[in-house]
Amino acid sequence: MRKSMVAGNWKMHGAHESAVQLVKAILQGSERSDNAEAVICPPFVYLADIARLLKGSDLVLGAQDVCAEDNGAFTGEVSGSMLFDVGCRYVIVGHSERRSLFGENDAMVARKFMATQRAGLVPILCVGETLDQRQNGETQAVIMRQLKAVLDAAGIHSFEQAIVAYEPVWAIGTGKTATPSQAQEVHALIRACICAGDARIGAAIRLLYGGSVKASNAADLFQMPDIDGGLVGGASLEAHEFLAICEAVG
Catalytic residues: 95, 167
Write out the binding residues for ligand PGA, residues 150-179 only, by CB under 6 A. 167, 172-173
Residue 175 gets the label, from left (phi > 0), alpha (psi -120 to 50) or beta, of left
Cβ distance to ligand PGA smaller for residue 133 or 212: 212
Number of residues that bind ligand PGA (CB under 6 A): 13
Contact 95, 64 (CB under 8 A): yes
Considering the rule CB under 6 A, would residue 213 count as an interface residue with ligand PGA?
yes
- Nearest distance from C-beta of residue 12 to ligand PGA, angstroms: 12
Q: In angstroms, rounded to a whole number, what is the distance separating the alpha carbons of residues 30 and 242?
A: 10
In angstroms, how far is the first alpha carbon of the chain from the final one?
13
Considering the rule CB under 6 A, would residue 212 count as an interface residue with ligand PGA?
yes
Cβ burial 160-193 (10 Å sphere, 16+ → b, else e): eebbbbbbbbbbbeeeebbebebbbbbbebbbeb
The letter for the amino acid at 207 is L
Closest CA to 93 of 108, 74, 120, 112: 112
- Nearest distance from C-beta of residue 195 to ligand PGA, angstroms: 25
Cβ distance to ligand PGA smaller for residue 98 or 111: 98
Considering the rule CB under 6 A, would residue 234 count as an interface residue with ligand PGA?
yes
Q: Which of 39, 50, 218, 232 binds ligand PGA (CB under 6 A)?
A: 232
Q: At what angle do helices 180-197 and 215-222 cross, to 10 degrees?
A: 50
Closest residue to ligand PGA in the complex (CB): 233
91: Cα separation from own chain's centroid: 7
Considering the rule CB under 6 A, would residue 211 count as an interface residue with ligand PGA?
yes
Q: Which of 4, 9, 64, 217 binds ligand PGA (CB under 6 A)?
A: 9
Binding part of the chain for ligand PGA, among 78-86, 115-123, 144-152, 209-217 by CB under 6 A, reads 209-217
Q: Which of 62, 80, 210, 229 binds ligand PGA (CB under 6 A)?
A: 210
Q: In angstroms, rounded to a whole number, what is the distance separating the alpha carbons of residues 115 and 121?
A: 9
| Site of interaction with ligand PGA (CB under 6 A) | 9, 167, 172-173, 210-213, 231-235
